[in-house]
Amino acid sequence: MSFVIFGLILDILGVFIITLTEIINPRFGKINGQSLRKTYWWNGWRPFYKNTQTLKWVIKWNHKPVVEGMLPPKYKLEIFGLLLTLVGFVLQLVSYIP
């Protein structure tokens, strides 16, 4: 019985993450002509960063640099929500196998 409840909680959490990702819809763009390691760009949030001129750590709460990477945060969150939903579904199935 505990697998059913835990699986249901994971299902709800996964669907909640996917729904929030679709509602918020963070912007990202594709970089053409780059290597495979840096295919997309998006605006990230980094409140703690190192200043390149003074080489000192700075705290700025609304600092949003442009970040490049292989997968944008929207895809990462959708994959994570899908995995949570699938694990929850499998846990619910396992609890009903005699």
With bands split at pLDDT 50, 70 and 90, how would you rate the model's confidence at 23?
very high
In this predicted structure, what is the pLDDT of residue 96?
A: 83
The better pLDDT of the pair 36, 6 is held by 6
* Mean pLDDT computed over 14-35: 87
Confidence check: pLDDT of 30 > 70: yes
The chain-wide mean pLDDT, for the chain, equals: 88
* Mean pLDDT computed over 78-89: 96
For residues 11 and 88, the answer to whether their CB atoms sit within 8 Å is yes
Under DSSP, is residue 1 helix (H, G, I), strand (E, B) or coil? coil
* Main-chain phi, psi angles of 94, to 5 degrees: -65, -35
Cα–Cα nearest to 9, from 60, 90, 96, 84 = 84
